[in-house]
Amino acid sequence: MSVVVIGSANLDLVYEVERIPAPGETVLSRGLASFPGGKGNNQAIAAARAGAETRFIAALGRDAAADELAAQARAAGITLLDRRVDAPTGTAVIFVDRKGENSIVVNSGANAALVDLTEAELAEIAAADVMVVQLETPLDTVTAAIRAARAADTVVVLNAAPSGAFPEALLAEVDILIVNEHEAAELAGEPAGTGERSLMSVLTAHGCDVVITLGADGAFVGGRGADPVKVAAFPVEVKDTTGAGDVFVGAFAASLDRTADERSLVAATEFATAASAIAVQRKGAGPSIPTLDEVRSLLDS
């Protein structure tokens, strides 16, 4: 599969803490490290390591962080189509507690300058089998990318994260929607805690297939006009959940069959669940992303 990812690239500053600080609270960090991050960047690396021919369209600043991210992307085997703009490269401050749970604050920086897709970028979308987009770049850019992909018969995978406003009508132009349970509820206009089957019913009514990720509980896959299928998680010891959702999305896109039928959706979800299970056992969004051989080994075990 050939995959093109349009999205964000950040330098992650990761603080290890005993617990996530409450409002007004100060806590001491046990350690600090920097890693490549950003949803688009993580997903592109995950797709490449899962064996897909991967291209990544992003906006970076003219700074050392940008040079570091570009070098790491190319080292992962990604063809990087990066704009250099007069804004700082995106950054994220991430707190990871002793249970591996996290809290994240993102400064978009150069990511906000990923606007007005060029003819060369549109050609990359048209040439790909699958396009992946998220919501850490301007919505107008996401919309233009989705419509360009649809016109070229490129499979559109939307990871509607982070949560935020998204035009309902645009969901009809998405082939596969991937969200966690909180994002699914917000997108469906339903209260938190609404059951996955109810959320599936609302979201698939827009005409797209849906994958709802459930962390340690696995994932639900809802094909258009089909009963949802539950995919079990792998029991593992969690060290850091940062980027696990992105690993899922990138691995999913890389393993998706061109037909994107129900069988392909379930198989891709199983593969992606294995990839994210490996990732949460490691620290750092970028370094945690597994290779194709590692995922196959877990699936065969």
pLDDT digits (tens, 9 = 90+) for 61-78: 999 999 999 999 999 999
β-pair type (176-180, 90-96) = unpaired
Cα(211)–Cα(172) distance, integer angstroms: 15
> If DSSP states are collapsed to H, E and C, what string results for the chain?
CEEEEECCCEEEEEEEECCCCCCCCCCCEEEEEEEEECHHHHHHHHHHHCCCEEEEEEEEECCHHHHHHHHHHHHCCCEEEEEEECCCCEEEEEEECCCCCEEEEEECHHHHHCCCCCHHHHHHHHHCCEEEECCCCCHHHHHHHHHHHHHHCCEEEEECCCCCCCCHHHHHHCCEEEEEHHHHHHHHCCCCCCCHHHHHHHHHCCCCEEEEECHHHCEEEECCCCCCEEECCCCCCCCCCCCHHHHHHHHHHHHCCCCCCHHHHHHHHHHHHHHHHHHCCCCCCCCCCCCHHHHHHHHHC
Number of neighbouring beta carbons within 10 Å of residue 91: 20
Binding-site entries for ATP: 180, 213-218, 245-246
The amino acid present at 219, given as its one-letter code, is: A
The mean pLDDT value for 151-157 works out to 97
* Close Cβ partners of 55 (under 8 Å, ≥ 6 residues apart): 2, 3, 4, 5, 44, 78, 79, 80, 81, 124, 128
Per-residue pLDDT at 128: 97
Q: Contact 177/171 with Cβ under 8 angstroms?
A: yes
Q: Which residue has the tokens 């297939």?
A: 209
Name the token pair of 260.
Answer: 């994107």
Name the token pair of 75.
Answer: 């080292």
Binding-site entries: 10-12, 38-42, 136, 180, 213-218, 240, 242, 245-246, 279, 282, 284, 288
Number of neighbouring beta carbons within 10 Å of residue 2: 16
**Closest by alpha carbon to 178, among 238, 144, 131, 129?**
131
The mean pLDDT value for 29-45 works out to 94
The mean pLDDT value for 192-221 works out to 93
The mean pLDDT value for 7-17 works out to 95
Beta-bridge partners for 104: 94
> Residues 159-181: pLDDT tens digits?
999 888 788 889 999 999 999 99
Q: Which residue has the tokens 């992606």?
A: 272
Beta-bridge partners for 200: none
* Close Cβ partners of 32 (under 8 Å, ≥ 6 residues apart): 13, 14, 15, 16
Per-residue pLDDT at 224: 73
pLDDT above 70 (res 259) = no
> Residues 220-258: pLDDT tens digits?
998 777 789 999 999 999 988 888 999 999 999 999 976
Q: How far is CA 230 from CA 5, 85, 185, 263, in A?
A: 27, 43, 18, 13
Residues labelled as active-site residues? 246
C-alpha neighbours within 13 Å on the C-beta side of residue 53: 7
